[in-house]
Amino acid sequence: MSKLKEKNWYPWLVVGLLWVVALLNYMDRQLLSTMQAQIGADITELQSAENFGRLMAAFLWIYGIFSPIAGSIADRLSRKWLIIGSLVVWSAVTTAMAWCTTFEQMWWLRATMGVSEALYIPAGLALIAEYHTGRTRSLAVGIHMTGIYIGQALGGFGETLSIGMSWQSVFHYLGLIGIGYGLVLMLLLQDKHTLREKALERRQHAATAPGLGSSLRSLFRTPAFWVLLFVFAVPSLPGWATKNWLPTLFNENLDGITMSTAGPLSTISIAASSFVGVLVGGVISDRWLRRDVRGRVYTGAIGLGMMIPALVLIGLGSSIVSLVGATLFFGIGYGLFDANNMPILCQFVPDHLRSTAYGFMNMMGVFAGALITQLMGAWADKGAENLGLTFALLGGVLVIALALELIFLKPKHADMKAEHFHS
């Protein structure tokens, strides 16, 4: 098995293995939002949209706080075992949710899940970036991201599944599947560099290589990194809003549409279009990079530009054609943007700091998601029109992110190296 990673096709096997992890990750998150009614029938506190927003936000706040720590850990320890540990722990928590009978129990379990899931994304994306060079990096990340969107789409069937087998059974079996898949990763997933190789490299460069503290200071003295934090965080507002509240918006704004229909319709629309967006965005940016070092920045900016009018239409639309059409347009734009976040980061941050840097980016994005999720829950209790208005206003906020990306993100390298970064 140690020779496996030397095969020419193994970098793509890594993408495939982590694709399943991403699917399980986001299927779990989406199921909760589409099973609200069934869970609320047994846990009465969750009949309130505000309380449900608090529950979803609990996961996000903890997830965000722990993300930079998780990123730093992923840069210094085995990314393979961090990924496996993260998957197994959050899957065990998912299984445990089947026995919840109170709001407090579910709140603490979702908070625990926030810690475990924070370990995955920085380690997973950094591992993909290690195996894939500049010519295939955006496409590889984009393919991985399709797992997120497929998981989100499958999660849209939460109400359908819960009616057929109970919401407890849905959590129970999904958790067991995740634990079982952890065994598959133990056999097939390999680190690009072993811990022994990393330790040897640190010893060889101990005299000249800066320590973690110095590296972090260099990271936060980089103006482009602050811009990346903002540009990543702002689109996370509508990104998380669509994940957590788009089914509710469809249900309330479309006459005659029940949640069992609104859930799949909304999640499949945005997941299918995002699927297309990340694949197209990955191919375009990898090719554009060969002609212009800002190719990935431009591709992400096109995605942001598409999301702005789409959000206005989502917020103001009242027919199935306008809502679904706007959702499809938003999803394609979000996919173009999403496929290039980690690849753009690699143009400004060297390998030994990428998980840490992405951890901070993830923290900002998740904090934005937690804020909007909780606020929209409170607003939803005061009237359905508030949800639509919020989506429309978020389009205006994205204009700022688009301007900053185009003005300030000017990479000099297709792949930042440590010697360039510290000099």
What number is the average pLDDT over the span 365-387? Answer: 77
Question: 33: which residues sit within 8 A by CB, 6+ positions away?
Answer: 56, 155, 158, 243, 244, 245, 247, 248, 263
Q: Is 283 exposed, middle or buried (0-12, 13-18, 19+ CB in 10 A)?
A: middle
Provide the H-helix boundaries in 4-102. Answer: 10-34, 36-42, 49-76, 79-96
Q: Domains of the chain by range and CATH?
A: 14-192+215-422 (1.20.1250.20)
Is the dihedral angle over the CA atoms 228, 230, 235, 240 positive or is it negative?
A: positive
pLDDT at site 100: 92
| 133, two tokens | 């060079």
Q: Which of 53, 122, 113 is nearest to 87 (CA)?
A: 113
Average pLDDT, the chain: 85
Are the beta carbons of 162 and 38 closer than 8 angstroms?
Answer: yes
Is the dihedral angle over the CA atoms 173, 178, 182, 187 positive or is it negative?
A: positive
pLDDT at site 92: 95
pLDDT at site 373: 79
% of the chain exceeding 70 in pLDDT: 91
Residue 398 pLDDT > 50, yes or no? yes
Residue 201 pLDDT > 80, yes or no? no
What number is the average pLDDT over the span 152-176? Answer: 86
pLDDT at site 73: 81
Residue 266 pLDDT > 90, yes or no? no
pLDDT tens for 29-81 read 778 877 888 888 899 888 887 788 788 888 888 888 888 888 878 777 888 99
What number is the average pLDDT over the span 226-251? Answer: 88
Question: 52: which residues sit within 8 A by CB, 6+ positions away?
Answer: 36, 40, 46, 377
pLDDT tens for 15-35 read 999 999 999 988 887 788 778
pLDDT tens for 296-351 read 999 999 999 999 999 999 988 878 898 999 999 999 999 999 889 889 998 998 87
Count of C-beta atoms within a 10 Å radius of residue 101: 9
pLDDT band at 206 (very low <50, low <70, confident <90, very high): very low
pLDDT at site 164: 82
Round to whole Å and give the CA distance between 373 and 116.
20
pLDDT band at 209 (very low <50, low <70, confident <90, very high): very low
Q: Which of 196, 192, 80 is nearest to 130 (CA)?
A: 192
pLDDT tens for 94-118 read 999 999 999 999 999 988 988 888 8
Are the beta carbons of 156 and 266 closer than 8 angstroms?
Answer: yes
